[in-house]
Chains A and B, each alone.
Chain A
């Protein structure tokens, strides 16, 4: 498949361990954030979202933490599996109501070791 982000930071995690992927966002007025997963040769896939009035949101095996003080977002993946290997990136909505103002981070490549 196509290579996305050949020079992205890489996080290597042992299978079964927890993964933490970080993202610094740019705009203190951003009101909505999304984490995406992008596997090789595929389009981005929604994982979890969080609004700016929340600090934490949990999904299935994933948790997103939002620290507005330092404009930091993290994605925690519990019990990381080989199928979690992908590029993960965050997106912030910097304004507008039609989904046209998302700013996407460059991403982090997660590599799950057997």
Chain B
């Protein structure tokens, strides 16, 4: 158990809908990263937050957004969902100042039908 929690574990929704994925980082970690993992694809970095502020953006679609709250939990919002958005979404957190040392949560499996 990495100490990073993600909810829900599974999510099934229809095209055009909007969902919110939630992540709680390890206690004391300030950085949160969001990744997408599709079948047969490597992990793709989406976005990073540090202590409530956006730190870096990767290949994140405009339909997707995220935020990190004062209690350091983070939410990833996916809207106008398409079939191709079906994937595993992982959150990771890293200790203060140790950005390379990322601890991954168990992921949320999103299925868009």
Contact = CB atoms under 8 A, between A and B. Distances in A.
B48 A98 contact: yes
Interface string B35-76: 001011111110010100001101000000000000000000
The main secondary structure of chain A at its interface with chain B is loop
Nearest to B91: A43
A106 B109 contact: no
B43 A44 contact: yes
Interface size class of chain A, counting residues whose CB lies under 8 Å from the partner chain: 20 to 34
B56 A104 contact: no
B42 A100 contact: no
Contacts, number: 75
Interface residues of B, number: 31
Given A98-B50, A100-B56, A103-B42, A32 B2 contact: no
A114 interface: no
B25 interface: no
B100 A106 contact: no
Given A98-B99, A99-B31, A7 B40 contact: yes
A106 to B, nearest CB: 5
A42 B88 CA distance: 10
B56 A96 contact: yes
Interface of A: 2-8, 32, 34, 41-46, 49, 89, 91, 93, 96-107
12 contacts: A2-B88, A4-B37, A43-B2, A44-B43, A44-B90, A98-B50, A99-B31, A99-B102, A100-B55, A102-B43, A104-B44, A106-B40
